[in-house]
Chain A
Amino acid sequence: MFIELGHFALALALCLALVQSIVPLAGAARRLSGWMAVGRSAALGQFAMVALSFAALTHAYVTSDFSVSNVVENSHSAKPMLYKISGVWGNHEGSMLLWVLILSLCGASVAVFGSNLPRELRARVLAVQGMVASGFLLFILATSNPFTRVIPAPADGHGLNPVLQDPGLAFHPPFLYLGYVGSSVAFAFAVAALIEGRVDAAWARWVRPWALVSWCALTVGIALGSWWAYYTLGWGGWWFWDPVENASLLPWLSGTALIHSAIVVERRDTMKSWTILLALLTFGLALVGTFLVRSGVLSSVHAFAVDPARGVFILVLLIIAIGGSFTLYAWRAPAMQGGGLFAPISREGALVLNNLLLATATGTVLLGTLYPLFMDAFGLKISVGPPFYNRTFLPLMTPLLVAMAVGPLLAWKRGDLTAALQRLWMAFGFALLVVLVGLYLSGFHAVLAILGLGLSAWIAAGVLAEWGERIRLFRLPLHDSWRRAAGLPRAAYGMSLAHFGMAVLVAGVSASAFEQERIESLRPGDHIDIAGYTLTLREVRRVPGPNYVADEAVIEVKRGGAVIDEMHPQRRTFTVQRQTTALTAIRTGLSADLYLALGEGDAQAGWVVRAWHKPIVSWIWLGALVMALGGVVSLTDRRWRVGVAARKPAAPTSIQSAAAE
């Protein structure tokens, strides 16, 4: 019953989305306020319907309703509740529903929080959101319906792939989708601006918070995915340049460019058409990311052929959304004249460099991801793996990171590079010190990694130098500096935090060159020495689990002669799926992770134990979190609230505040 209701609600949501795409747009063109107002109610109604539909599917999962084929295929009555719920989006159909839920949530948020937007702009933004939603609702209903019944209902479900039953993976998709779908708002604003034919500082101010929300969510989502890979896959890798990972990195890179270029539009009224393009591109890449990965196309063109109906539908959607918006762009963007002049050495100039490098990096990752498919079309099979990206992506990132410390110290319009560099002499000294000490300690090995650490020190110290500059630290009495620090806008702190997070991340990545590895066959009583730790295998015992049997090693960790810990890596054999997975044991710390995985073996031959000592590896995810936190802090800036929720009577006639509605 609930299921049919959910299905019906989804169909209703499609109707509302169609109304939302047409009526407000026509209303904006003819300046009919009643028509324009329809957008708001349609967006809210659409959200309510999709939420109802999602609740119905979740209900089916929670109550293990095995008359629904989607539940049968992806759930099992004995599964813990967390994975019953996460199972809702652990499959193609359900994840599409989550996608649309977040999309309609974004639409509803624009409807609610956008009350101070110019009426026409809001109507157009909502209409574009409606169009996007219509496309995906139609896709779900036509090709990926999660509400199909099976008759007769089987007694139990097939269960979820054991590898996917993990808290990290349960929350990874919602964040990732919020990141992907959140970029649809900036996309809708960009399309609306193209229709109106104007972009100004106010437009940029409205767009930036949305772009930031999406960027933060994407940052967290990518970090979660990488962390999951690190602790699950059993050899401590955290980034593989896999097409699936690249698909999430692409909108992140262009989204990062977008949140920077939008600043230029807001402050200096220039780089308009470029910013619009980035907004279109970010959502376009998010679409490519979700759909091409979901349909398996990125790992093989042939996956398209597996389900041609879905493939064709996806392609048509992409052509309408991206092709349509790019056509509009080619038509309307040339008219958008940039305003503010600036010298090459200036804040604007630095942001242009930032955008140039980020856009090139986006292009590089896209090229590396698509090239094997491109060659495949000619019957040639090649692989593009980490060695390619190390030779192309990293050289592009290096100048970006170097410039990251300098850019914020340059003035708008015309900057003084010499003065900026003078303010950074301490940062440079610190970075140099890090490099020299690193070279000395490592005996001139791993030079590139040490330069990476130096780069991290440079950025971190640069962030502090910039902050010290803003509050005139040591140049004004301390209490004056303190007042300035308290008075700095949150957005400034947000930027500092985000840049500092990048420095932390770069340090974590660079330090991976210093990891140590030991792989030994151990019998009980044998030990491994690694990085000052002595790891002794005490015993390997058999531990039964709910749907698996595990061999669990008891490994004593000694340091300096004293026992400090006991670690228990497991090797689980899932009886039904005949699959073996490793449960790693990790001692996480700020200074290093001790990472253990248990391999095959028996009492006679010994057990294979793989141990790693990974210095500051946790800084990678810590850095990503600090970056996302920077975004959140920036979002709390009161200027956004001024921009977002002002209900001052100042609203003039041509930008009528819709708050009164």
Chain B
Amino acid sequence: MQERVKKPQFDVVGTRPVRPDGVDKVTGRAKYGADLKMAGQLVGKVLRSPHAHARIKSIDVSKALALPGVKAIVTRDDFADQASEFVPAGEMLINYRDVVRNILAREKVLYEGHAIAAVAAISEKAAIAALDAIKVDYEVLPHVIDEIEAMKADAPLLQEDMITQGVTPAPTKASNVAKRVEFTLGDTAKGFAEADVIIEREFKTKAVHQGYIEPHACLASVSEDGSADLWTTTQGHWVKRAHCAKLLGWDVTKIRVTSSEIGGGFGGKTVIYLEPLALALSKKAHRPVKMVMSREEVFKSTGPTSGGTVRVKMGAKKDGRITAAEGEIILQAGAFQGSPVQPACMCAFANYDLENVKVIGFDVVSNRPKVAAYRAPGGPISTYGVESVVDELAEQLGIDPIDLRLKNAAKEGTKAAYGPKFGPVGLVECLEAAKESDHWKAPLGPNQGRGIAAGFWFNIGGETTVSLQLNEDGTLTLMAGTPDIGGLRASLCMMAAEELKVDVHKIRPIIADTSSLGYNFLTGGSRSAFSSGMATVEAARSIVKQACQRAAKLWEIPEEAVTWEDGEVRPAGENAGKHKPMTLSDIGKIAGKTGGAIVGYAAISAQGAAPSFGVHIADTEVDPGTGKVTVTRYTAIQDAGRAIHPSYVEGQFQGGAVQGIGWALNEEYIYGPDGKLQNAGFLDYRVPVASDLPMIDTIIVEVPNPRHPYGVRGIGETPIVPPMAAIGASVRRASGVRFFELPMSPPKVLKAMKAAGKA
């Protein structure tokens, strides 16, 4: 792997120690969502809608409740209705009125797989028998799956009272269009008038699932005094605590939530599905209740991200200067409003320094599961369209696609169409690294092509709490509250070790539960290494300050006369007296005698998250006899700000690239005319397997974020933004055909190549 990491001026940051959670994971000891067991636990299962759209006339659970071994059943009647209220959840907004309807359908079922009732029974068999015995009387309604169909005036309405927001004057009739958004900068009409070349294209993308290997799972135990323990696989246990408390009408302090190890989340585990059901069942049954989804339930009832329609129009001068850009982005929200159309619009043209931009977006409901965040939500969809048009501009203008991007690249001082001015950003550096890479210069074989695309993601900070304890033997315990989905614990220990000049393996990290630490917003928005890292550094510096105070006390000199140098507490200068310098280990041993335990605590709202740009190069080979696209070489280049643990930065680049490759080539939600999902399993929902891919090469670019003590930028999401357009551009050159629809699956590719006389 090529690296552009500058020679580290650090002892620990930038090195590659073994991760603290690694051994338990590879030996199977780590406890994931479904791994905890409690004495007397019941099996919880969910009854789900077989219809895409139906009114629920009645639900009769009496026969099911009378069955042997059935201990509790909950339905819509067990949850109070909620007022319409939007709250942040990751990078998306949720509305409790919709959440309470998504966890258990109320007036209607809005998609196949929509939960209707949950049962708790003494065995899986008894629980399944109970599900079979629940009688639901449906009035089946016409359904609509496609977002363009759903926008039509005569489409079946999901919510009879939905009036499109963001339109003036407000429409008088309800529709499936929840919201219209618009971002403008300059005057696009003027910009297009100046253009020598204008390209206007429409792109279609399909709904794709996050595809985490671990299904949703939780275990809830509600005590007779009303306090509850909830063990769950999640990206944010404080956020889940808040959602559960709200839906159940309980105080948050009554619910202690522990996040298990997490087998992938990618945004999809920021949402509650089973947790309020398990808590309500446990309260009713007076026993712990464990719930684990099947893979089919995961596909039909959770996740995915939006499919959509993206229209892009861009104009450029002969010299490659882009004069205007317009986009229209229509995204599926699923059954309830709240697609990532806003970030999709904001991201669309963020790669470029443009004077004239206009982006309009629509959030459209249809009879699909409610979309959840998926790695840079919305960004990959709009960027696929924009970067594909940029590639076509380069082709038409006869300009190298890297040079065209360099001519227009966003840089420090660029005003983004969505508002802010960028600080120091690394797109130019990434493009230059691409241009200099071995990959970009390597020869291609027959039926092979090379494509390139850029991508951007905002990244966020937010509420974060970290506690760092100096133990009595000088070791340290680090408590963070952002679940570790990509090597976070390793990175936090490394930042603490760097500050404290201790061996990184002397710091044991845990992800604390909601009752053990102050509030933490969830792991999302690529915030955890940035925000929890910032809090860790603050906590470590507090330890140093306290160590100096303890030494001052011991040496009976003023605090100002003690300094921290090279990992030691030392008397500052000759006047401070001759005292033997002390390490943190020495200080830990005397903590009890000098004032008690030494704990560094940081409760912050992390500010100054900086965006990360990336550039991906893809080589593909297209089989003219079958239309099959094989990725033959792939390089992901991205600005990490500072790579704390380069292996996990590379892992994020690789993982995002692989998910993007799946999105580009084979992944899609396939619906039948009956509105039912036809491929709710990993056999026919084709994520790439290891043998499908070459090793994904990585190049880490470092343009430090000045707002973080070590220069960290969030890096987890950007890597899924460029792949679809990079693969599209590559397939264009390999096959001679340009595609405007994802996935570029073999039947579509072969058909288009035949039509173009290329097969």
Do A and B interact? no
Residues of B bordering A, CB below 8 Å: none
Binding site for B on A (CB under 8 A): none
